[in-house]
Amino acid sequence: MVTVNSSQTSLENPVYVATPQHRIPVNGYPAAMMPIPPSRMFLIRDALKAYKEKLGANAVTYDASQGDGGASLPGVPRELLQRALEIQLEHGTAYDQPWGTPRFRKAAVEKYWQLDSATGWGEANIAFVQGGRDGLQKAYSAMIARGNKQVGDALIVSRVPWISYNWGPYAVGLNVLLAPGQPESGWAYTPEGIRACVALAQQEGRGIAGIVITSPDNPTGRTIPLSEQIMLAKTSLDAGIPYVLFDWIYHWVTDEGHSDINEVLRAFSPDERERLIFLDGLTKSLGASNVRAGWLVAGKGVIDHITSQSSHGVIPSFFAQAVAIAAFEMGFGEAAASIIEPCKQSRHILREALTNFGIPFIMGDGYYAFIDCARYIHSGVLKPLPGKDVVDSETLLMHLGENFGLAVVPGVYFSDAGADWIRFSYALKPETTAGAVQRLFEGLQALEG
């Protein structure tokens, strides 16, 4: 005899999984969303292609546009990949936990972060993710579900943010809010600007889901001292913002050394720590873009939420964890030296060259300098690109690429506030950086009229 579940009137009728009080209400907001624009990075390839068509297939070009140390620098050392394969073979190929594996957590706590047990944070506060973008999407989901519990809230980012900060949050139901900022300070957050964002959202009946603090920054390269990051985070929490996300994906690629998570955690009460989220990974520091290895360090509630969601979504691969484990066990500074050291040398070359040339720029650590090219863009020599009414840094990109074989990223791709700026990547060998910046100067001088 077959027994019918008492919660169902009949197996012949459809039944919701969620009970009535937990069903998602109908909301038509996706119909009102603007299409998320695809990347315009293809224009960079087109510009360099045009240069080679004019000067020949063997013409020397310089790509100062990318942020992939695995392409422009040696990337993950071969011995690390071999060790990771050994770890994978030892581990096998069965499913792991949605947060990763105990071995990764242990190595991350003890060898990488050296987490102070007095903070109350340990292995249970870490979740492995499939690279930075996966980590960000999972963090946004946790902000929505555990914060104000509503879509349509705002996520605060800097005035000139990384391109994916504009659209990753939007895809999951958050409205991205560009904070006030001035180029003279590298578009830095201010307490007044953060509070102005909160006030604007409240006027529209929205909450703030969180704020992103990135250091070193993409695209500007600005490095924010830990004391300033702590001050901004405290300002945000005091203003009622539920979560502060520290994006530290570049923090090992610096002159002064990596950021100390313990210093930040000690500055907050146990309750406040539950509202902090840290993103890190191998993408930039180890040039491991296609390894897809990242991790979130956060309050236990956030990690539990991510774990439950990941169990029905993206469970991280073990090989990516194995690469991280191998790097942690080697000593991360040594493992990442093939990225850190060339960037450090290139950084010094580029900073000196830009200073001597007399052009305004923003430059801290990481991979990038942000260069003010307004004088050259608006010299009257450049003409608008087809379909555009104005000249901006995209017009400059095409000029530099087609005529001088140099690829950069137009600042206008990040936000309108960057329309007169370019992002110049020095994640290159020092001699390549020297050649690339010389091409930049030649291209700019050609616009002086």
Q: Read out DSSP for 255-319?
A: SS----HHHHHHTS-HHHHTTEEEEEESTTTS--GGG--EEEEE-HHHHHHHHHHHTTS-PPPHH
Residue 45 has a pLDDT of 86
pLDDT for 8 beyond 60: no
DSSP string, 225-236: PHHHHHHHHHHH
Q: What span, in angstroms and rounded, lies between the C-alpha atoms of 294 and 336? A: 15
Q: What percent of the chain has pLDDT over 90?
A: 94
Residue 10 has a pLDDT of 81
> Residue 54, Cβ neighbours under 10 Å: how many?
11
- Asked if residue 219 has a cis previous peptide bond (ω within 30° of 0), the answer is yes
Enumerate the β-bridge partners of residue 449.
none
Q: Which residues contact residue 327 at a Cβ distance below 8 angstroms, ignoring those fewer than 6 apart?
A: 80, 282, 286, 335, 336
The dihedrals phi and psi of 297, each to the nearest 5 degrees, come to: -120, 125
Say which amino acid occupies 332.
F
Residue 4 has a pLDDT of 47
pLDDT for 42 beyond 80: no
CATH superfamily of 42-67+337-445: Aspartate Aminotransferase, domain 1 (3.90.1150.10)
Q: How far is CA 364 from CA 73, 166, 212, 256, in A?
A: 20, 22, 18, 10
Residue 99 has a pLDDT of 97
- Asked if residue 102 has a cis previous peptide bond (ω within 30° of 0), the answer is no
Highest mean pLDDT among 12-16, 70-74, 225-229: 225-229
Q: What is the mean pLDDT of the chain?
A: 95
Enumerate the β-bridge partners of residue 156.
177, 211
Q: 213-239 pLDDT, tens per residue? A: 999 999 999 999 999 999 999 999 999
Residue 425 has a pLDDT of 98
Which of 294, 288, 323, 282 lies closest to 83 in space, CA to CA?
323
Enumerate the β-bridge partners of residue 296.
127, 279
Which of 61, 351, 355, 319 lies closest to 221 in space, CA to CA?
351
pLDDT for 430 beyond 70: yes
Residue 113 has a pLDDT of 98
Residue 169 tokens, joined: 């949050």
pLDDT for 340 beyond 50: yes
Lowest mean pLDDT of 22-26, 171-175, 259-263, name the range. Answer: 22-26
Residue 1 has a pLDDT of 47
Residue 356 has a pLDDT of 98
Q: What span, in angstroms and rounded, lies between the C-alpha atoms of 166 and 6? A: 48
In this prediction, residues 9-30 reach a mean pLDDT of 90
The pairing of beta strand 421-425 with beta strand 368-372? antiparallel
Q: 190-219 pLDDT, tens per residue? A: 999 999 999 999 999 999 999 999 999 999
Residue 5 has a pLDDT of 52
Give the start-to-end residue ranges of the domains of the chain: 42-67+337-445, 78-335
Residue 39 has a pLDDT of 77
Q: Which residue has the higher pLDDT, 134 or 449?
A: 134
Enumerate the β-bridge partners of residue 119.
none
Residue 6 has a pLDDT of 52
Yes or no: say if 324 and 337 are a contact pair by the CB < 8 Å rule.
no
Q: Which residues contact residue 311 at a Cβ distance below 8 angstroms, ignoring those fewer than 6 apart?
A: 98
Residue 449 has a pLDDT of 67
Place of tokens 């579900």: 145
Query: In this structure, which CATH number among 3.40.640.10, 3.30.70.2860, 3.40.50.10490, 3.40.50.80 belongs to the domain 78-335?
Result: 3.40.640.10
SS3 content of the chain, % helix, strand, coil (to 5): 45, 10, 40
- pTM of the model as a whole: 0.95
